[in-house]
Structure formats: structure tokens, C-alpha cells
Amino acid sequence: MKRHKIALIDIGSNSVRLVIYDIQKEYTYKEIQDIKMPIRLYQYLDEYGNLSQIGIDELIKTLRIFEDIIKLYHPKKTITTATAVIRQARNSSDVLKELERRSNFKIRLLSEKEEAAYGQYAVSHLTTFEEAYTVDMGGGSTEVTYYRGNELIHSHSFPFGVVRLMEMFFQGKEPGDLEAMAACERYVRSQFKTQDWIHARNVPIVAMGGSSRNMASIHQRMVSYPITGLHGYSMTVENIKSTKFFLAAKSLKQLRDLDGLSRDRADIIIPATITFQALIETTSAERMYFVKEGLREGLLINMINAEVPETYPVSGIRRTSIARLLVNYGIDPANAKQRLKRVRLFQDLMIRAGLVIPSEQLNDYLYYASMLYLAGSYIEADDSSMHTFYLLANSNISGFKHRDRVIIALLASYKNKSLFNQYLTPFHDWFEDSEIELILKAGNLVRFCDALNVIPMNKIEKAELLKEGAKYRLRIKWSLPPYGELSRAERQKKKIEYILGKKVILDFYN
């Protein structure tokens, strides 16, 4: 696959956005340009529901700027989509004709169902939620879906978004006006009640779009959250309510200066928060999760999967993400696989000796740690442990929640218990003591097995773990003289002794 670029323009009710993606090896994609123009097209709908000429001219001006930017990147393809504001305009057909006549873009007007479906497609292919509600709140509409597996069961496009709610209830008022907030909440709840499939199901909500991410960003700052990134972050109904009250206590001027909130969303963040609270209470969802993907990524990965099926599969999302990280961080896959092979060998020895209880959780931990061990060497070999922890804990990794990311970071950065405890300190209350112990054992095993990765050609032909009184003897037959392996293994012997709880004699021979 030749490396290439894709440009995607999203004409929304609140903003018009250009994102340019670099499509890399194995169809990994990376945003290399992201420009948002908050022109609020919704405000240009006149009393008859037509998009005014002023609004069309503003949009043309933006598209021409985007056209000049796109020329600098030479993309293989440019995709331009329009959603609610154009869809709802009574003169939408004339608007599209004029846009195409006055710009060089072929514009695809997405239907309500398509807009909802592409957002859901991104969620089902880039997260591990097998069943969930999704919500994507734009400026002029709010898309809610319910899916199970890869099947979209229900979807609906509600005729309100953040800009529309602001105009309906908050025009000329402070964002925290109590009467306006109450009226807005009554309206949103009444809208959700029109769809009888939106009810309690004991499934999470996955939220997309800038409004949800801004709300999550504010909450992270409220609680002094210890890692960065919104993808995989979650909030309970109480978290959403406390964020709403926090915002409602501020004036519009204060909101514009609030850290974590985009200035152009200052007057629309409270309608968004009211909507998310209403939805999480209507569905009785335990948590609302936030993802960086949405409509644009749904379009992109749908196109990639059409070209190369199962590039972004519904199942195996985590393994696919790890494989892509190997590429991104320049990790030698052969070396990583050999490390994993040795980890599995010693894991099996310990299970057969009754020293380790087999579990799917442990299998996963060992896989992630083996494949990504000391990935921070990509930045610098010195302090690779510290770089690894920071890099993995703060990276948006598809298929992993924030708690998962911290576990991967603790495992892949493991060198010794003191560093482990240092990294763990801000997250200690995230884990049970038994889970911390399991992570520690997994980290020690990977660290020890990494010490055996000296000469790639030196294969383990036989391995035995023998109990000798109060000690264990680890006998390994190598295909070549194991001088380097024995020297490194002796230095890391305490790691295996920690797992076994006894002294270990290393017996390496050829």
C-alpha cells in the first residue's frame, strides 16, 4: 500500500472542519491537519427555513480557504459532506448547486440515518463496546443510536443541537439562567420520550463530538485528573451534574476564559451538558464514555474497510491497536514476538508447577507488556522506562479505556518495584491490591524474559522448573552457548524469585 493522504471536509451546523489524514503502513491513519471554522451556519437560516445568501457566501469563503490549504498536501482524495444545517434548509437543493458551482468540491449531503450510522460505525470498529447507545450532538441536530454487535438496531436524529437549544432557550440570557435551563431540560426530555427504544438497558453511552469532549475536558480539570486525553474517559451522572452546576455558576465572560472550554462553545456548553444529563438519566446508563472518533472517522475507516476488508475489524480491536503501535513506535515485531514466546513458555512452566493460576486477564497483560516493552526507547534509550510509561498512559489507544492504558503503561515500563510504585502513586485507588500484585508479577516476568533476548538466533530448546528443597532450579537448554543470556538473567534473577517467592538457581547449558 502506497502512503497517501485523504482530505475530509465536514460542513456542520456549528462549524465547518477540514481534517487531512496521512494514511500510513497497514492503513494506520494520522491527523496531520485539523482546521475548524466556527461560522455557525445555523444562524443563517431565515424565518422561512432557507439558508440565506449571507450564509452561503460565508460557507463559500471557508471552502475556498480550505481549497488552498488542501493544494499544499496533494491528497489522493477529498471527501466533502454536509449534515443537519444543509439537510434542514428548505432551499438545500439550490444551496448544494451553488456551492458546487462556486467551489471545486462535490458535496455529499448525508441523510439522518447515514449521519447516525457513520458515527456508530466508528464506535463499533474502534472501541470494545459490544452493545451501547451512541450520541453525537452537533449544532443543529443530535444523533442517538443503539447498536448490538456490529448491527445498528435503532437510530434517530433529533431536531435540536447545541446552537438550536441556545437560540430556543438562552438567547439574550446568561448561560446559567435557571428558568432557561429548566425549560431546555423539559424540552430535551420530552424529545427523548418520543422514541420508545430509548430506555434503561444496562449498557453504556458512547459520546462523540466537540460538545461532549469539552464537557469531559472541563470535568478532568475539576478533579485534577492525572493523565491526558479524552478518548476512553468516562463520567457518571453525578459527574455530569456537578459539571453542569459548576458551569452554571459562571457568567458568559467567565466561561469564555475557562480552561478546557473552547471560547466558541462558551454559550452552548450548558445546553450540551443538560442534554447529556437527560440522556444518561433516561437510559439509566452507569457511565458515559468519550471517544475522539465520530462521523469523519466513520467515513474514513468505512472507506478503508471497503478497499481492504477487516483492516478495522469489529473483533480483535485491541490486538489491532497494539500491532499499529508497533509500527508507530518503531518496535521490531520479530523481537517483540520472541519476547512474548519466552514469556508464554515461562508462564506455562509456572502454571504446570501450580505456582500461577491461569487467567485470561493475565494472558492479556503479558501480551501487551511483551509486545510494547520499553516502547519509550523510540524517544530515547536512556530513561526508556519513564518515557514508556508517559507515552502509553497518555496516548489515545483504540479499544482501551483510561484504566486499561495505565495498566499497559505500568507493564510495558516495568524495570523495578520502586519505579513501579512511583508511576502507580496517582492511580493507586484505581486498583484493588490483588490486581496490583498481578500487574507486578506480570511486569517482573516480562522484565526477566526480556533479559533472555540477547542473540536472536539463540533458541530455547528445552526449559524445566525443578523444585529443590526451599529453592527452584531453572534449567534451560540453548541452541548456542548462552554466555550473554546467563549474564543478563543473573542480574534480573530477583524478578523471577519475586514471582516464585523462593530463591532460584539458574542452570543454562548448551
pLDDT in tens, 163-202: 999 999 999 999 999 999 999 999 999 999 999 999 999 9
- Average pLDDT score over residue span 324-347: 92
Residue 70 makes CB contacts below 8 A (sequence gap 6+) with 7, 18, 20, 78
Confidence check: pLDDT of 54 > 70: yes
Digit-coded pLDDT (tens) for 201-251? 999 999 999 999 999 999 999 999 999 999 999 999 999 999 999 999 999
In a shared domain, residues 273 and 334? no
Residue 282 lies in a domain: yes
- Identity of residue 450: D
**357 — phi, psi (to 5°)?**
-85, 125
Model pLDDT, residue 328: 83
Determine contact, residues 137/318, Cβ cutoff 8 Å: no
Single out the residue of 274, 355, 281, 371 nearest to residue 319, CA to CA.
371
Counting the structural domains of the chain, the total is 3
Residue 478 lies in a domain: no
Q: Domain of 78?
A: 4-110
Q: Is residue 354 helix, strand or coil?
A: coil
In a shared domain, residues 272 and 370? no
In a shared domain, residues 149 and 225? yes
The grid coordinates of residue 4 equal 497517501
Single out the residue of 274, 82, 91, 86 nearest to residue 168, CA to CA.
274
What CATH number has the domain bearing residue 188?
3.30.420.150
Pairing of strands 131-137, 205-208: parallel
Model pLDDT, residue 29: 87
Digit-coded pLDDT (tens) for 475-510? 999 999 999 999 999 999 999 999 999 999 999 999
Distance of CA 280 to the CA centre of its chain: 20
Contacts 24+ apart (CB under 8 A), 386-393: 386/413, 386/419, 388/412, 388/413, 389/413, 389/423, 391/329, 393/227, 393/423
What CATH number has the domain bearing residue 33?
3.30.420.40
Model pLDDT, residue 309: 85
Q: Identify the domain boundary among 440, 456, 472.
A: 456
In a shared domain, residues 187 and 268? yes
Residue 253 makes CB contacts below 8 A (sequence gap 6+) with none
Residues 376, 332: Cα–Cα separation, whole Å: 13
Q: Identify the domain boundary among 263, 295, 327.
A: 295
Model pLDDT, residue 382: 86
Model pLDDT, residue 101: 95
Model pLDDT, residue 1: 65
Digit-coded pLDDT (tens) for 239-255? 999 999 999 999 999 99
**78 — phi, psi (to 5°)?**
-120, 125
In a shared domain, residues 264 and 141? yes
In a shared domain, residues 145 and 286? yes
Segments in 315-416 forming alpha helices (H): 317-328, 333-352, 360-372, 384-393, 402-412
In a shared domain, residues 344 and 214? no
In a shared domain, residues 16 and 148? no
- Identity of residue 197: W
Q: Identify the domain boundary among 110, 127, 146.
A: 110
In a shared domain, residues 253 and 327? no
Pairing of strands 77-82, 4-11: parallel
- Average pLDDT score over residue span 312-340: 89
Determine contact, residues 132/198, Cβ cutoff 8 Å: no
- Average pLDDT score over residue span 401-411: 96
Model pLDDT, residue 280: 99
Single out the residue of 431, 436, 435, 445 nearest to residue 498, CA to CA.
445
The grid coordinates of residue 407 equal 495498566
Give the CA dihedral 283, 286, 291, 296, nearest 10 degrees: -10
Model pLDDT, residue 425: 97
